[in-house]
Structure 1
């Protein structure tokens, strides 16, 4: 039996619960939560292990962490993404962070995204000057709080690589999508600064609200870690066909029949009117029409028309 037939056989649901689970794993129009998978590569340094541990704490209850090394996870090599896609599908994660260490690329951190459990895009960083959470002491953060991001530098809007980095970082730390958010829940801030040599400074701070004498409190930033400098090494953008499928918008509203939009963006509708018999309708008619109808009716009944008078014959 081939692999495709085996997948079709295994993915065919036999119960309603299995069908619901498969539908939940399909790409959704609105992603409420994206979980992240943290795992080690074929060789990992202690610095990268600490980086993944701190990032896993920032994504607490929204991530899965593997502690064993995985020799087959090599996303930038041909066929090296198969094992990564398998792990992401197994844990139902749309984001991943891979750490490895080589002589050519020391302290390597790889952040990326998945679409329909296929590798979408990713960026590789080199970690320099890392300072962990524990070195900054105790920090108080509310459960369920969401971090606010501050990107310093216009390169995040002009350089294509940094635009991709900004998009991935926002998607990675976005967390659960909510309709309403309490201001007190914004208790953390992540500052990402772009240097002249395209290196990035990643700083995680706590927001402290203090009295200011007005209704708007005074905000102060206190660094709580982790802190690190990131050097962009390699990156891979999303393929054209996969990007087109991922950006496809589903029509949530039903299309109205016989309704169009004209050139002035006005709503124009067409109304169906059945065929009507005007002759049988009780409408106001002129006297000439009534006389003609009366004469026709009298002829049909076999009656003669009235005789002319004496002065009319003369």
Structure 2
């Protein structure tokens, strides 16, 4: 069983080697215990006894199982079988999901969110195709492009899996929405009108005033100016 992601500065991976009888689909007590002990939110569990080549992935919310999906490994290509050049370790991956199920079927939507949580890196708005090195592509292979966009070809450089969806343990809609709620401290502050800041942190406010008639302005009258 592999658990990672916690309240630490960098990603921590901890392999739990204690021989415990764990059946995630029947009893989540051990998963919740290890999650609270290690302060981790994601887990992967592999088994082969009852269901051959079984892989269970999931994530926790408040140290309880939120979503858990069981996958069957039908095809596996190891890193040793890849003859192409490998991308450097730590290269930011680009995630591509192909197929309508990832946008329509509830189980596949949750599976997509799980995979994003496992493999996501920094979020960027634009990507230069010439500098694209690491792609995690799910479901299908890119075909030849017939548009002006530069053609991108994929070559195997990492292990690959052929999976089938087995049992699922999904959170209720209310609990799922609660887990996705962003804390107030992390919410972006609303931009205030007519307020700006410079590089030194000084705040400037713009005030809009109506035109004033200077002829009606009350001034101090001096006796020496009287006629």
TM beyond 0.5: yes
**How many residues are matched?**
177
| Structure 1 gap segments, 5+ residues each | 1-36, 40-60, 194-200, 206-215, 257-282, 284-314
Taking the aligned partners of 1:243 and 1:231, their CA distance within structure 2 comes to: 24
Distance 1:141 1:226, change over 3 A: same
Q: Residues 31-89 of structure 1: CA distance to partner in whole angstroms, max 9, x if unpaired? A: xxxxxx717xxxxxxxxxxxxxxxxxxxxx73524263543422211xx2121122223
Structure holding more helix per residue: 1
Taking the aligned partners of 1:179 and 1:90, their CA distance within structure 2 comes to: 33
Q: Say which SS state the counterpart of residue 222 (structure 1) adopts.
A: coil
Q: Say which SS state the counterpart of residue 146 (structure 1) adopts.
A: coil
In the TM superposition, residue 128 of structure 1 has moved relative to its aligned partner by 0.8
Q: How does 1:1-314 map onto structure 2 within 5 Å? A: 38=2, 62-66=11-15, 68=17, 70-77=19-26, 80-103=27-50, 105-137=51-83, 139-175=85-121, 177=122, 183=128, 186-193=132-139, 219-252=152-185, 253=189
* TM-score of the pair, normalised by structure 1: 0.48
Higher relative contact order (CA 8 A, sep 6+): 2
Taking the aligned partners of 1:155 and 1:182, their CA distance within structure 2 comes to: 25
Aligned to 1:9: none
Q: Say which SS state the counterpart of residue 94 (structure 1) adopts.
A: strand
* TM-score of the pair, normalised by structure 2: 0.64
| Structure 2 gap segments, 5+ residues each | 4-9, 143-148, 193-217, 219-227
Contact 1:146 1:186 in 2 (8 A): no
Distance 1:63 1:131, change over 3 A: farther
